[in-house]
Structure 1
């Protein structure tokens, strides 16, 4: 993902500096878009220990993306533009992520047969660098028979920041979705097991976005955000198999099944054997269609159809 972002950054920067100021220069048009609210909807993708393509795990990189586990998400946010090239945004995003070993033909992962889903409720604070921008205000006064200038607010930007998110992995047991954290599938909190994990963690969002004007106050765009987390338990899988006899005694039979629902080659999945890969943390991706509303200024009373009264509030 970093290589993709670097490619777009270098490409876009070359476009900017190859043009006459790239829409910036001494123009003050950016100040007409200082305050915005936005809404988005799109797809979610998970990169973790479960699912993936028909190969062994590839350190949770984009080449291991399982498109069949795509789910839906959406969110709202506020953006403050404080410089021609810089903005900051606060966003609340919700989505579902999932993964299943049954989706791959790689024999070890398919035999392991683990699966999960988890909600992601994320609050993020981001800093955006505007790589390329073309912003021109439309005509304020309209005259009969005169075609006014159309509004332009086209923009290419990259971003990063920090986010906090809630997650709660579940799996299906006897047809019902069951919370995995209380089942202690890797012996969390039990003798010789792993440390217990919580329901909250943080992530570093990195991404790229593109948007363009569809009116005086509205923009339509697309945004991709790769979110690298600091937990390896969004899918409840990280380290080794725990002793099933201890699980049965301390937690119950549901814990034994959730820890090891393998469907074949059972000797590969005994206590002490590798269950996941703790060396690389989980990640998730939001791919969103965005709709942005400019709230920097508004029409005042006295405006009639297509006619400004000359007073604009900032």
Structure 2
């Protein structure tokens, strides 16, 4: 699901929200003081891990974000607001993560930081299923209400929470005839996970995430709000891209895997020699050498557009005054 699909989905999201609002008017759904909101979330998402990146030493920040592997994340949320300046959110999202060493921008030989990552030639993709609970804090709303100036229509906020996510990394395999296919990576134990010789434990496809971010909300009507937010997730896994530690002896694959799996594993663990115009004289990708960075876990972030709809009765008088920049006192 690429960026073109994102804009089509956003248009569909707007139509859906309009239908929900009309349905509410028809059935008279209400809840005291409009303390609940439901929302639809959509936006671009990027993976930050051991694969891909840009010039220089690899990192885990926006510098190493590759636009060609930026995908969409879409989800739903429900929020409860016991006061105007604080809220509690439950959110569920679906997305896709990718990383590709071939996208590393470099003009240097393989024995440089960026060159060694590019010729490593690793690539992956993985679906993302995410659920989290978070706290929303609206500092300007608190200040405005304390000063008796009412609730502002624009409200910046911070968000922090805790959640879980599920992933399933796949690597791109090319057979001798040049045919490409995506292969599940975890069963191949590419870094010796679960092997006696390495002592590295197998990793779980379910782990925790800590979302942290900022956003700004705007009340379009007394019932519909629009928000833009940026959320970064720290995770408890360094294996979202199936890359973390060192290259292992390829002979171990024959010992632990089926013949077909061993064929896949030998290519996917170390496809450096298959990179076009790679330097055969420079081979850092051998047994015992660094394959990833086990000192930093993987992460991912999203820039999300949110449309939310308030459930229950609202006060519309404020909105009839088109010169007003304040929102109603919902509580």
TM-score (norm 1): 0.77
Match of 1:41 in 2: 42
Match of 2:225 in 1: 219
Q: CA shift at 1:183, angstroms? A: 0.8
Q: CA shift at 1:211, angstroms? A: 1.5
Q: CA shift at 1:170, angstroms? A: 0.7
Match of 2:51 in 1: 50
- Report if the CA contact (8 A) 1:52-1:103 is conserved: yes
Q: CA shift at 1:34, angstroms? A: 1.6
Match of 1:127 in 2: 135
- Report if the CA contact (8 A) 1:44-1:95 is conserved: yes
Give the one of 175, 187, 195 matched to 1:182.
Answer: 187
Distance between the aligned counterparts of 1:280 and 1:33, measured in 2? 43
Distance between the aligned counterparts of 1:197 and 1:131, measured in 2? 40
Aligned residue-pair number: 257
Match of 2:14 in 1: none
1:196 and 2:202 equivalent? yes
Give the one of 118, 126, 133 matched to 2:126.
Answer: 118
Match of 2:299 in 1: 283
Q: CA shift at 1:190, angstroms? A: 1.3
> RMSD over aligned Cα, in angstroms?
2.4
Q: Write out per-residue CA displacement over residues 156-175 of structure 1, whole angstroms, 9 at most, x where no aligned residue.
A: 10010101000111112132
Distance between the aligned counterparts of 1:272 and 1:158, measured in 2? 43
- Report if the CA contact (8 A) 2:51-2:241 is conserved: yes
- Report if the CA contact (8 A) 2:34-2:314 is conserved: no
Matches within 5 A, 1:164-183: 164-174=164-174, 175-183=180-188
| Distance change in 2, residues 1:167/1:277 (3 Å) | same
Q: Write out per-residue CA displacement over residues 192-245 of structure 1, whole angstroms, 9 at most, x where no aligned residue.
A: 232100110001110011111112210111111100001000000000001111
Q: Write out per-residue CA displacement over residues 18-66 of structure 1, whole angstroms, 9 at most, x where no aligned residue.
A: xxxxxxxxxxxxx9442100101111101100001122212x1232222
Q: CA shift at 1:265, angstroms? A: 4.3
For structure 2, the 5+ residue unaligned runs are: 1-31, 107-113, 145-150, 175-179, 321-329
1:255 and 2:265 equivalent? yes
1:238 and 2:244 equivalent? yes
Match of 2:95 in 1: 95
Distance between the aligned counterparts of 1:107 and 1:152, measured in 2? 51
Distance between the aligned counterparts of 2:140 and 2:38, measured in 1? 20
Distance between the aligned counterparts of 1:120 and 1:165, measured in 2? 7
Secondary structure of the residue aligned to 1:102 is: helix
| Distance change in 2, residues 1:111/1:273 (3 Å) | same
- Report if the CA contact (8 A) 1:133-1:154 is conserved: no
Match of 1:108 in 2: 116
